[in-house]
């Protein structure tokens, strides 16, 4: 009898619980029970499994109450971890034995770049089908237009920036708002457009510390010029920009002080609040589509592949969902590396678009 296992790994992202629910329900529709692995790859090594289905009166599997109740909530009911042990071949061998012990015939891994890389390593060492679902608010995973959590994170950022703008206008202030994203500036770029920010600082456009501070000073000066009649300045800073937010605020404040008068400049680091919160509609919808394709792939014996959302492309393997295709994880990892080092056409397109709108943001 087939059995599917599912785990969430790495940083949590809204939509992970929706993906767990989707995997469980789709597998149940094929009369395949699902087991959850607690604590990511550490739980896989330690054999911490729990059933995610119950049997109905007709004997068919269905999701347990917790899976159904928390499908739209943020975080992950299975827990997550970053597992240094999983880098060791001996630990992966133990994980494979645990899968065999529970008679698992397919594993779905939900997570970001490191998690997908772990799935790739595991797939090379077992004949059990391993399928990945991309989940990372940073949107830094190759061969998927978007990963789970990105849309929810952007909604959180936009709401926070709107609230900050309210108080900024009341007190004629400038705010530097730092958002998560690691080495990817996607969240910062998208949020800057959505919130009508005055400028955005991206890691994909590297500048020296002095250049970063100078750009912020110039933006604030121009925005608060008497001819502009502006009452707030909003600068979005990506986490991957190496100059700390508090240093930008301090330096800009000092440089904009004239005869004892200074601009009121504040800094806010949104931090982990961006990763939390209930999943948005799009993340729930995407989770359902990823989950369906992943389960069907595992049942068909497909392994070392990731489901990616790609509209209008003919690469990868077609699935029952016209928008979701399967890509070899080796290809995903190569494209991810190119995304992060700036050589990907996707990265270059993002930078080009950002260059094109910088002048628009400052208006």
How many angstroms separate the CA atoms of 335 and 15, rounded? 23
Structure tokens at 352: 């080009």
Residue 343 Cα distances to 125, 141, 183, 358, angstroms: 31, 14, 14, 21
Judge whether 151 counts as a catalytic residue. no
Provide the pairing of β-strand 34-37 with 49-51.
Answer: antiparallel
Structure tokens at 45: 């090594």
Beta bridge partners of 309: 324
How many angstroms separate the CA atoms of 360 and 196, rounded? 9
The one catalytic residue among 42, 138, 278, 283 = 138
Give the DSSP H/E element, type plus range, for residue 146: none
Contact in structure between 114 and 41 (CB atoms under 8 Å): no
Residues 6+ away with beta carbon under 8 Å from 13: 112, 135, 136, 137, 147, 148, 149, 152, 153, 275
**Active site members:** 138
């Amino acid at each position: 009898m087939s059995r599917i296992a599912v785990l969430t790994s790495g940083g949590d992202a809204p939509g992970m619980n929706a993906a767990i629910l989707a995997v469980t329900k789709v597998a149940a529709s094929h009369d395949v029970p699902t087991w959850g692995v607690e604590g990511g790859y550490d739980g896989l090594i330690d054999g911490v499994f729990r059933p995610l289905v119950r049997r109905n009166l007709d004997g068919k599997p269905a999701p347990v109450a917790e899976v159904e109740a928390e499908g739209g909530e943020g975080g992950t009911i299975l827990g997550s971890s970053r597992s240094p042990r999983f880098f060791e071949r001996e630990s992966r061998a133990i994980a494979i034995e645990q899968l065999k012990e529970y008679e698992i015939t397919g594993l779905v891994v939900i997570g970001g770049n490191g998690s997908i890389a772990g799935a790739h390593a595991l797939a090379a060492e077992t004949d059990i089908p391993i399928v990945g679902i991309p989940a990372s608010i940073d949107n830094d995973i190759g061969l998927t237009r978007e990963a789970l959590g990105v849309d929810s994170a952007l909604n959180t950022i936009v709401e926070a920036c709107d609230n900050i703008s309210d108080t900024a206008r009341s007190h004629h202030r400038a705010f530097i708002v730092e958002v998560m994203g690691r080495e990817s500036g996607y969240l910062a770029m998208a949020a800057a457009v959505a919130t009508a920010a005055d400028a955005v600082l991206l890691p994909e456009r590297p500048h020296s510390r002095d250049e970063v501070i100078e750009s912020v000073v110039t933006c604030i000066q121009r925005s608060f010029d008497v001819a502009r009649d502006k009452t707030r300045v909003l600068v979005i800073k990506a986490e991957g920009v190496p100059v700390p937010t508090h240093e930008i605020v301090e330096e800009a404040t000092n440089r904009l002080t004239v005869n004892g008068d200074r601009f009121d400049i504040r800094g806010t680091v949104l931090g982990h609040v961006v990763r939390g919160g209930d999943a948005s509609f799009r993340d729930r919808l995407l989770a359902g589509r990823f989950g369906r394709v992943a389960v069907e792939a595992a049942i068909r014996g497909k392994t070392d592949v990731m489901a990616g959302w790609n509209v209008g492309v003919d690469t990868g393997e077609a699935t029952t969902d016209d928008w979701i295709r399967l890509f070899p994880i080796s290809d995903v990892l190569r494209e991810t590396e190119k995304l992060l080092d700036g050589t990907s056409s996707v990265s270059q397109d993002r930078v080009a678009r950002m260059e094109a709108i910088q002048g628009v943001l400052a208006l």
